């Protein structure tokens, strides 16, 4: 029984490790599947194999996996996007606000967002991102457009 647990733990550990390092694998799917499997396994072991405890364990594993996915996906683009969408909403109500600042506490990278222009139908905005990584700066441009639902959507 202990050997089975060690084998499963080892396989899941390597699954997590490869999900964070491989570019071709959808990290979110691997994380959610792995955490659901781990939760189901512990539910099965703790409940002596009954269906209810296995289901509860799997559900708890899926919930924990969702939180882990949100944490892992918080890269520089995540913080840039959140701040850009915030500035766009404020800009609709107060045209004088046309810039914002983002910071990724995990990487230490940061940037400034500026709305540079308006165009098109649907309403679209040209966004400049002044990106600071260490002591190096770079500029990039992107677009955000208002969807039919009224929400802003980033277009890479």
Taking the C-alpha atoms of residue 34 and residue 65, their distance in angstroms, rounded to an integer, is: 8
Same domain, 67 and 82: no
Same domain, 97 and 144: yes
Same domain, 18 and 53: yes
Same domain, 19 and 80: no
Which tens digit of pLDDT belongs to each residue from 22-45?
Answer: 555 666 677 677 777 777 777 777
User: Based on the structure, what is the number of domains in the chain?
Assistant: 2
Confidence at 146, pLDDT banded by 50, 70, 90: confident
Q: Which of 46, 72, 98 is the last residue of a domain?
A: 72
Q: Which of 20, 44, 72 is the last residue of a domain?
A: 72
Residue with the two structure tokens 């659901």: 36
Residue with the two structure tokens 């800009």: 91
Same domain, 124 and 151: yes
Taking all residues of the chain, what is their mean pLDDT, rounded to a whole number? 76
Same domain, 21 and 50: yes
The predicted model gives 115-135 an average pLDDT of 82
Residue with the two structure tokens 């080892």: 10
* Nearest alpha carbon to residue 129 among 118, 140, 115, 145: 140
- Its pTM stands at 0.55
Phi-psi region of 143 (alpha: psi -120 to 50; beta: other; left: phi over 0): beta
Same domain, 84 and 47: no
Q: Which domain holds residue 66?
A: 2-72
């Amino acid at each position: 029984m202990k050997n089975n647990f060690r084998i499963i733990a080892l396989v899941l550990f390597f699954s997590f490790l490869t999900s964070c390092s491989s570019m071709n694998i959808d990290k979110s799917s691997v994380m959610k599947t792995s955490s659901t499997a781990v939760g189901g396994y512990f539910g099965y072991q703790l409940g002596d194999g009954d269906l209810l405890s296995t289901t509860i364990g799997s559900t708890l594993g899926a919930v924990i996996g969702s939180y882990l996915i949100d944490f892992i996906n918080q890269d520089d683009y995540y913080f840039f996007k959140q701040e850009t969408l915030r500035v766009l909403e404020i800009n609709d109500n107060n045209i004088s606000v046309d810039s914002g600042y983002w910071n990724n506490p995990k990487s230490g990278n940061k940037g400034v967002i500026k709305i540079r222009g308006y165009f098109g139908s649907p309403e679209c905005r040209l966004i400049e991102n002044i990106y600071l990584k260490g002591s190096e700066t770079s500029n990039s441009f992107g677009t955000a457009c208002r969807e039919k639902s009224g929400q802003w959507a980033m277009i890479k």
